[in-house]
Amino acid sequence: MQKINVVPRPNAVTYTGGIVCQTAFDNVFEYTVSDPKLGGEGYCLKLEPSCVTITANTAKGLFYARKTLEQLKAAETIPCVTVEDTPRFSYRGFMLDSTRHMQSVEEIKKLVDTAALLKFNTFHWHLSDDQGFRIESEKFPELNEKGSWREGDDFGSRHVAERYGGYYTKEEIKDIVAYCAERFIEVIPEFDVPGHTTALISTYPQLSCRNEQIAVKTKQGIFEDILCAGKDETLKFVYELLGEIIELFPSEIFHIGGDEAPKIRWKECPECQAKIRELGLENEEELQGWFTSKIIEFLAGKGKKAIVWNESLAGGNLPEGTAVQMWMDPKKNSVTWANRGNPIINSDFYHYYCDYPYYMTPLKKTYNFSPVPKGVAPIMERFVLGVECPMWTEHVYSFEWLCYMAFPRFAAVAERGWTKQRLCDCADFENRFTAIMPLIKEKGVYPAPKNEWNYNPAKRLGGTLSFFADKIDFELVANSLKNMKK
Ligand code: ACM
Ligand code: ZN
Per-residue pLDDT reduced to its tens digit, 61-96: 999 999 999 999 989 999 999 999 999 999 999 999
Compute the average pLDDT of residues 169-198.
98
Q: What is the DSSP letter of 147?
A: T
Establish how many alpha carbons lie within 13 A of residue 476's alpha carbon, considering only the half-sphere containing its beta carbon: 15
Name, in order, each residue with C-beta under 8 angstroms of 131's C-beta and a sequence gap of 6 or more.
Answer: 99, 100, 150, 198, 199, 216, 217, 218, 220, 394
Q: Give the model confidence (pLDDT) of 93-119 as tens digits.
A: 999 999 999 999 999 999 999 999 999
What would the mean pLDDT of 140-150 be, rounded to a whole number?
98
Residue 465's pLDDT band, with cuts at 50, 70 and 90, is: confident
Mutate to test the pocket of ligand 1, among 100, 259, 356 (most ligand atoms within 8 A of CB): 259
pLDDT at 477: 65
Q: At residue 217, does pLDDT exceed 90? A: yes
Q: Which residues on adjacent β-strands are paired with residue 30?
A: 54
DSSP assignment, residue 312? G
Catalytic residues: 129, 196, 260
* In the predicted structure, residue 482 carries a pLDDT above the cut 80: no
Largest CA distance in the chain: 77
Name the residue of 255, 328, 334 whose CB sits within 8 Å of the most ligand 1 atoms, as the mutation to test its pocket: 328
pLDDT digits (tens, 9 = 90+) for 381-403: 999 999 999 999 999 999 999 99
With a cut of 60, say whether residue 347 has pLDDT above it: yes
What is the distance between the terminal CA atoms of the chain, rounded to a whole angstrom?
A: 64
Closest ligand by atom to 258 CA: 1
Average pLDDT of 450-464?
Answer: 87
Share of the chain above pLDDT 70, in %: 97
Q: What percent of the chain has pLDDT over 90?
A: 92
- The model's pLDDT over 276-295, given as tens digits with 9 standing for 90+, comes to 999 999 999 999 999 999 99
**Hey, what amino acid is at 29?**
F
Tell me the pLDDT band of 486, cut-offs 50, 70 and 90: very low
pLDDT of 59 > 50? The answer is: yes
At 94 the three-state DSSP class reads: strand
Q: Give CA–CA dist 328/332, Å, rounded.
A: 9
327 within ligand 1 shell (Cβ under 6 A): yes
* pLDDT value for 476: 67
Sign, CA torsion 393/405/403/254: negative
Question: Contact at 8 Å (CB) between 416 and 369?
Answer: yes
Chain centroid, CA 482 distance in Å: 29
Ligand nearest to C-alpha 234: 2
Q: Do domains 13-85 and 91-484 have the same CATH topology?
A: no
Quote the ligand 2 centre to 225 CA distance (angstroms): 9
Q: For domain 13-85, which architecture applies?
A: 2-Layer Sandwich (3.30)
Question: Which superfamily does CATH assign the domain made up of 91-484 to?
Answer: Glycosidases (3.20.20.80)
pLDDT for 464 equals: 81
Say if residues 398 and 391 touch (Cβ distance below 8 Å). Answer: no
| Angstrom distances, CA of residue 5 to CA of 73, 399, 434 | 10, 27, 9
For the chain, give every domain's residue range.
13-85, 91-484
Residue ID of nearest Cα to ligand 1 atom 2: 327
User: Atom 4 (ligand 1): residue with closest C-alpha?
Assistant: 259
* Ligand with an atom nearest the CA of residue 329: 1
Three-state SS at 451: helix
